[in-house]
């Protein structure tokens, strides 16, 4: 079983005719994803790589039955693409685009929260259910089917964690990159709830970083609700206050968002926190073993 996407998901790509959109469309399709349509205003009626292109999301969803959107629209138009996805009634929108203006996302997030559409991202690597479906930019070959859920704010660290998990014989049920911007759709808790309810997910690896309070919120939720072992890694232990570290949301402001505070909160919730990015796989294995002994 998986969360969010599977081999039956029907995917429409917003921005399919752009260079990045088309490249990753082909990569996802080669992995096994069912790409049923693309959307680029003004280019409706053409086909790219055998995939029909529509002018609007409404038309694409109505004609093809698509239920998942992958968004590769450039930053100035990405929030509008999210809004159009919501208006179409799509179940899940995954926005890969980096650099979406925060003011645009503030407006879009209000609409998303009042719609039936789940949003992952923006500025994220996407979602993958190993062996079934990939909607995003992650390297599919490092993922192996299994029972460890992965949720992360960092794309690169996700790839490293997944490689370590796969090498350790710990395949993944679903991996979700929630994105590193200040305003995003699904947060840690939203994904953790789904992993907690998924009968085929036995444990979860969580990757956080400095900035914001999402990790502390997740720790509180884990302490009260999580039935499965959780291991984690928090990036940015040595980050100086006030300096953005990579992602737009990875910044310590007003003395809040420090890695040490996040690590402490997770440890207090019973989460096994890896002290180094080279130890993420080991931490997950240790968390699984500790759970079995109880």
Q: What is the pTM of this model?
A: 0.93
- Give residue-wise pLDDT tens across range 143-202: 999 999 999 998 899 999 999 999 999 999 999 999 989 999 999 999 999 999 999 999
Q: What pLDDT score was predicted for residue 42? A: 97
What integer is the mean pLDDT of 239-266?
64
User: Rounded to an integer, what distance in angstroms lies between the CA atom of residue 46 and that of residue 283?
Assistant: 49
DSSP H or E stretch at residue 255 = none
Give pLDDT tens digits for 95-132. Answer: 999 999 999 999 999 999 999 999 999 999 999 999 99
Q: So what's the pLDDT on residue 247?
A: 46
Which residues sit opposite 93 in a β-bridge?
69, 119
**Among the four given CATH numbers 3.40.50.2300, 3.40.50.261, 3.30.390.10, 3.30.56.10, the one describing domain 138-293:** 3.40.50.261
What is the rounded CA–CA span in Å between residue 170 and residue 150? Answer: 11
**3-state DSSP helix/strand/coil percent for the chain, to nearest 5?**
40, 25, 40
Predicted pLDDT of residue 98: 96
How high is the pLDDT of residue 257?
76
Percent of the chain clearing pLDDT 90 (strictly above): 87
Beta carbons of 209 and 245 less than 8 angstroms apart = yes
Q: Are strands 92-95 and 68-71 parallel, antiparallel or unpaired?
A: parallel
Pair 147, 173: CB distance under 8 Å: yes
What are the φ and ψ backbone dihedral angles of 196, each rounded to 5 degrees?
A: -65, -35
Asked if the model's pLDDT at residue 242 lies above 90, the reply is no
- The answer to whether the CB of 212 falls within 8 A of the CB of 236 is no
Assess whether the region 10-120 and the region 138-293 belong to the same CATH fold. yes
Task: State both tokens at 165.
Answer: 């998990």
Per-chain mean pLDDT for the chain: 93
So where are the chain's domains?
A: 10-120, 138-293
The pLDDT of residue 239 is 53
pLDDT, tens only, 216-237: 999 999 999 999 999 999 997 7
**Whole-number Å distance between alpha carbons of 15 and 57:** 11
Domain range 10-120, its CATH number among 2.60.40.10, 3.30.70.360, 3.40.50.720, 2.60.40.2550:
3.40.50.720
Active site residues: 247
Rg (CA), the chain: 19
Distance CA 243, CA 159 (A): 25
């Amino acid at each position: 079983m998986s969360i969010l996407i599977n081999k039956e998901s029907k995917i429409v790509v917003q921005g399919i005719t752009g260079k990045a959109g088309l490249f990753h469309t082909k990569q996802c399709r080669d992995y096994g994803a069912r790409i049923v349509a693309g959307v680029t205003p003004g280019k409706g009626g053409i086909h790219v790589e055998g995939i029909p292109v529509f002018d609007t999301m409404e038309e694409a969803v109505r004609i093809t039955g698509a239920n998942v959107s992958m968004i590769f629209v450039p930053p100035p138009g990405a929030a509008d693409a999210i809004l159009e996805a919501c208006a179409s009634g799509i179940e899940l929108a995954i926005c890969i685009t980096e650099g979406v203006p925060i003011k645009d996302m503030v407006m879009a997030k209000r609409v998303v929260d009042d719609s039936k559409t789940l949003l992952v991202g923006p500025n994220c690597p996407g979602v993958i259910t190993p062996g079934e479906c990939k909607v995003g930019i992650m390297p599919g070959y490092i993922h192996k089917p299994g029972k460890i859920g992965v949720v992360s704010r960092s794309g690169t660290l996700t790839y490293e964690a997944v490689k370590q998990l796969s090498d350790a014989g710990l395949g993944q049920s679903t991996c979700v990159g929630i994105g590193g911007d200040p305003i995003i759709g699904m947060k840690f808790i939203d994904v953790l709830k789904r992993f907690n309810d998924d009968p085929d997910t036995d444990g979860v690896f969580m990757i956080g970083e400095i900035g914001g309070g999402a990790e502390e919120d997740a720790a509180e939720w884990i302490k009260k609700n999580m039935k499965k072992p959780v291991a984690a890694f928090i990036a940015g232990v040595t980050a100086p206050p006030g300096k953005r570290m990579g992602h737009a949301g990875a910044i310590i402001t007003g003395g809040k968002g420090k890695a040490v505070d996040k690590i402490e909160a997770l440890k207090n919730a019973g989460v096994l926190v890896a002290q180094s990015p080279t130890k993420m796989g080991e931490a997950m294995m240790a968390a699984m073993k500790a759970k079995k002994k109880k």
